[in-house]
Amino acid sequence: MPQALTHPERIELRIESDPANLRPVREAIEQFAVALGFAQEDVDDLGLVVNEALANVIRHAYLGKTDRPIEFKAWTNGHGRDELTVSIRDWGNGVDPSSLVPKYKDPLVPGGLGLLCMEKMMDDVRYIRQTDGMLLEMKKRKGETAGGA
């Protein structure tokens, strides 16, 4: 179960890389975004993107291991609460997914769309290599078209 540190302008969760932890984290970011006044479409986008990012960490950084640590944080800029930042820290293999050569995606086979969702639904996506893993940082702004607008 996720361990939560709560603050009105911030969420911090420490979870294990078990797929059973995806739902509580997704629900936490959705509730946080609603409380900040994000539109329902943006709330839905945030939930999907966080779910996909965490699933990618489990699948690719941890190769399916269910007992590895993940730190999830979300916070607002505080000035009008119009921008939400999400970070996901893992201690996996340290591969930057944005540096990989894109593979052909068979539309009839599930999976493989997480990175595309992140790029299209978020306003900024950055992978920051750590000496012992990876930090993903994503931003979503109110009232703007995602994808770098």
pLDDT band for position 149 (cuts 50, 70, 90) = very low
Say how many C-beta atoms besides its own lie within 10 A of residue 97's C-beta: 16
Whole-angstrom distance, CA of residue 77 vs CA of residue 16: 27
Structure-token match 């994000």, residue found: 38
31-90: per-residue pLDDT in tens?
Answer: 999 999 999 999 999 999 999 999 999 999 999 999 999 999 999 986 667 899 999 999
Report the DSSP beta bridge partners of residue 77.
Answer: none
- Average pLDDT over the chain, rounded to an integer: 85
The secondary structure of residue 59, as a DSSP letter, is I
Distances in Å between the Cα of 103 and the Cα atoms of 17, 20, 100, 113 are 25, 28, 9, 11
Q: Which pLDDT belongs to residue 102?
A: 56
**Which helix (DSSP H) or strand (DSSP E) does residue 49 occupy?**
helix 40-56
Q: Which pLDDT belongs to residue 100?
A: 58
pLDDT band for position 9 (cuts 50, 70, 90) = confident
pTM of this structure? 0.83
Q: Which residue intervals of 2-129 are DSSP H helices? A: 22-35, 40-56, 114-121
Question: How does 56-79 read in b/e, with b if 16+ C-beta sit within 10 Å?
Answer: bbbebbbeeeeebebebbbbbeee
Domains of the chain: 3-141 (3.30.565.10)
Tokens of 15: 């979870």
- In single-letter form, the type of residue at position 51 comes to N
Say yes or no to pLDDT of 98 above 70: no
Whole-angstrom distance, CA of residue 11 vs CA of residue 17: 18
